[in-house]
Structure 1
């Protein structure tokens, strides 16, 4: 078995806090998720998450205009510079203070970052002949504001920038000393200024404040009139003056704003979840829409001004709206509470998660997007299971119900309940999908229902403590149950008796897992051990002590070291791989352990997060953070805030989790569930940060012609005409990417050789060839030739295309469009020539009759 699993993607959350950034072409959007950054491709419908991690939650991200450098800054001001194309980390830097806003200048030469009351300008790291050991070079520090700066906006020519602050003013700064006379203060607002923007000609400035006021400023002489003498005006000093004041008239505070100078469109998000689109300078309201039940924290506009992106951290929403057609381009929402359980679909294409927010979400494993969300449960989801046959999903909840879901029609078709109200905490489904059973922490019985009738079939009694977990064997008749009474029992469901004696354990049982062949059961207990039992013989065959493997991490209020903490020294979830040779284990720790069962050794240990904003990720605490009042992180400093809404504490008394989006109270790191993919090439872990996907698949394909072949048009044509190596010539032409050369070689391949070339074609060039054929079918007369190529490619690579249908969706749509066009043209040509063919056939019959008469 391969053990080189690498971080692949992060699901379960799409936006946490901070800002959103469109790529310059407007097709992708970047979103900070905890201490990572996710990228959503809006055209190809897929997403990925960068593998690098910050030590704290990310507060701001920025992308340079060339889309080559990504800069992300965490809450402590520590920045990471990333090569956006290759997704590799270039440099680490520390700005030494929290960043309220960060952006690249439009020409890409400077980076601006606002820290409290200062604006720092740094030169963008670039390529030089000389090696740079310190690529971040500070240009200048700007001051002047008397309170915290909220936002910064550059002018289009990169000569000036605007800043807004909580001191109720906006300021203009110049980049060059020659333009220093343009620096001025724009005052007059009665609340915090959240945004200031230049018009396209930079003769007008718009400022937006939190109380819903929009001020329009122009650079002119105060009291200017059109009939004034221009010569007299030149003698007076021109300055920025307010020429217009407008108000949004919303019963809510303005939280964020964005302006597109090309279309003069202003977008404002309010605390009520409503956003408005206004056309400036006439202040015409274009559209208003409610998209959330909570504050809209950030809004941005892509370069063309067509798409608007909104982020709401309270519910973890990310929306991309096309305002002209009034349609959603992207509408995603992650779980806004802790994920408790997960499972894979039998084919491995979907991942289903359940959380404390009472929602069940179905995620596409390839694209990373949510397919559907079920909200019928009214309490936390504790367990979900798939039936081995068919597209039926079962879920257990603390609301006292077990629900069955049809994943073809996306509906709840059956609900199971017990005679008395119970909070179900565990679930197991018969592989045939006919029997479902559940356990509860409220009583000691196992409840069995018939899926077809929904009736309660039986209640299995025998345990003397609450049921912690259940698992069905693949043979369908064996059920394993674990309890806090320190026993594991094996039940013969259809024989209506206990097949063997209870397996006695040394501590409370927290998790069990049956091997795929149903001959062995793994048991995780509270003392940190994993024991393996032979099901048929009823004896223990192996044991793994994982207390030292999973131990690690201190809470900030702990008075003892991580080594002496019993909190993380046990496993809460187990999962066998497909062949049963290895087992994954996780718990209330930052580690996931992969064990070899036969040798009882640790193969690898995965660290799910290094985020210091979570409890349990730091091994050693800093003594300077300890005060007489307790840990410094737990001291409430919100009472010193200047804004009333910042001083109000909305958390419940005694709540230990707080507002997860705002991270007011540190959530604890944990792994609630682990599952191997049915293919065995990936596994998913439900953690505090979200749904982590680890995979052994590599995004880059092997290209045998990418080694040391001298690829030129001459050698490509030589491979075609002299060597008659069609595959080599075709691949070399793709590497050169010259259309005339690809066209020549493509049509030079003989029809009898098409299946051979298609079968041996490397998959790295499959998408490129499909796109080329789709473009050729638009105006090429060789219809049969193209159809033979399509048939050969789909026959040879059909399984690969099906497994990655999301990745190749746009290419296959092009092929389908070309085939449909050919079909329509043939049908039209046949209809037009139908009467002509009939006439010719009749004339042929008359001619044949005439020749018969003449000859006879």
Structure 2
């Protein structure tokens, strides 16, 4: 039975046999072709190039004919006497290189993917097959080659022999069927060749292009027919947008399936497909595919490929059919530096790997053309760029020659003046030396800036597909020159890596990693790989502990720590279980199996070790003496997984057959067989309380069982192919990992999904395990990495019932206070993100603001009529509330919480001393309500803004204005903040701007734009280098104060206006509060110095930028280690 592929779209590639489940919108053609093949001995299938004939055969007809008991064989023809017939075996798996094919009648015992034979031998085998009651279906793919290849090679006699054989098979009463597949423009010649079978002309299917009416089926069909199978999906709203865009593209009504599949695939692979479609459009997405295909090449080969593509587009913008010789000749004429060898390599890549061009042989000449019209605009643009570059180089050469002549003339004049100039030489040398030094320094700076920009440009496109690599490139750019672009790129990449949930990536293995395990003390992680090595890692620093453990002579499939963490067990394909001393890395013993070992597990007391594998039995060993205690039989086929219950009395095993078995370890008695899976079971795990057993298998399900009654408790679906399961320490969460590159978390009580970790591994995840405290999840897979995920931190702090109006950190950054519309203030542990006790209640209206005292012991909160003081440790009220003499609309504390400014509806600002609870006076100044107030860190200066859109600065002691009002905002000012030194003021408002002012001169410094709506909150970092702003567009934006530019992309997560932002004193964490009722903490977004940033980058990524990665993404830049 055919499964469902991991990916829902094929891109530019044709559909394969394994893609039957996602081959949609061709059901009618498949059924018609199937009926024709069933009725007639010979059938013709033809259509235009690129209309999907091969896809119809592979994913449509081949799976269908199996129901009619036909045995398909794919045949190609070649003009070689004695080797005319090429049988191409039909691959059944997604990976054509795996060697799994449909059985072949022509090579029943062979495992070759390609079988060559003569016409005579082929005919004889077909006759023998038919005589044995088999019903072969011979599919002659690209049958036009009987015309093109044979005529050009002058192999007319060989051609006649092939035709005679085909006619003989059709004329004689044999149980064989023939399907001829070819391009429509060869129909006339093929009719002539097969004229001896005239009825063939009426036994045909002419394949037409798909119509635009099929677009919804192509785009949404995979998800509607296989709900929950794919790691992500294109939602209906996006699909509708995409269909509309494609309707505009395909004005004729005919659809290019490869273009639709390519666009849909690129959107499906993206984390934010809506934004990508908006930004690039359909043509941009298609051109992005072309760029990505070529970016995988080395710079030299990429340049050669572009030069070749340029020859396949005419100056009028149409496709051009060009011979191989002409391609190379014209490409070298325009680009003399390109060698024939380089062009040949590029041509081969374009045809065979990226499939951007196709080749046809006519009259003994290879002709090439690009595969689709969508490539034309991109190629024309690149060709124009190359033309302009060549012209610029010629102009520069001409100017250099002119300058050289002028220099020579000046040199001759200078020689005549040398004698007179000797008097001033000494003075001139001194001046020139200074100038030269300055010029040298400037040249070095410019070179560093150029390199930094190149690395930044290389990092940006990788942000979503390879955030770890993007971070390394961004860090290299920042290290070279800490420009604002590089700083923003680092921030983007850090955010992307952390948003994925990954807190560490461990590199070191050179092949797939089959298994990971956590030591009981939470300090060590072990990983086992197909590279025959075991590696031990420090879970806190993500660094490798010593050298790899080597001893296995083949792939290592499983690892497990003993409960005391001193011993590690490993099992491998070399039929050995090996025991290791974790501290010394020395091998303690080797236990012999009869065949490959797939899984090992220790009992809870550490005395017993279980192992299982290819032989089908489970073996139990004394972990101290290394002697075999007993074996547990009763299974047919491989055993993939074993697990002990917490008390060590029960062992679960699972493997190739769809049954989970439970054993009594002491008596060796089979306790039960759990049936429900529909394929192999790859992993089993007991919950810590021994009540539940989880199993995962090839049928895409995770099943939960009552470990005592052996009855099913539920089935969890979401993966395609599940490889591993693990319970958290408290048993409340189950993690599952699969071939869809994702880890899914499940609530074991409700069986509902808690979320998916999908932005990390780039291929199948083979193993998953929790740390003993349940805070960290470790995964490993085919991409040769081990990844650590933080599962303890929820994405947002929730507690307030309504909007959150304000946030403030305690001076040590450990506690966060929040003010809510629900009339409460709350305190949170900033590290654990958990609330500290109950909410602070007592206010009669929405709490407008919060502030800590300088020592962090006192918290002040304010509503529109009262100020309340609280003991921040006990959370008890300090005295009675301070009653204000008028209602306030806005409030602001000084940085140390000692002063409070209240903006009121009557246009005045009231100042209060929080410690003495006394009024410090009232400041006039506005005819309408005050919209925003802010106090400088020392409380000496007050900024206030009103409905007249002006900002006024006041001396809080004399109550006098400091200069004229600050003018610039075109709408109300909603938020203000002073820098820590009090020299700058930032203001934000309804005009969508962030403005910076010089407090001493009252002059505007810069105006920053980026928000897509009113900006309502603002805060400086403690060092004054960074500004954060929050807006009604639900985003937080960071700004480089010195460079007055936005740093990186906006921080997204809130679903409503961002009402407040606040930094910790060290600038490492930013808190944001929103009207959506949540608070979000953005960790480690800033850094103190390069060493701190380097430590953070290298801790997260765990590896280094390789020389090949640097050469591929940033060619021409000298290599320098990032984390070494």
Larger relative strand fraction: 1
Same topology, TM > 0.5: no
Larger relative helix fraction: 2
Which fold has the larger relative contact order, with Cα–Cα distance below 8 Å and residues 6 or more apart in sequence?
1
Give TM class, smaller chain. 0.3 to 0.5
Alignment TM-score, normalising by the size of structure 1: 0.37
Q: Which structure has the greater CA radius of gyration?
A: 2
Alignment TM-score, normalising by the size of structure 2: 0.29
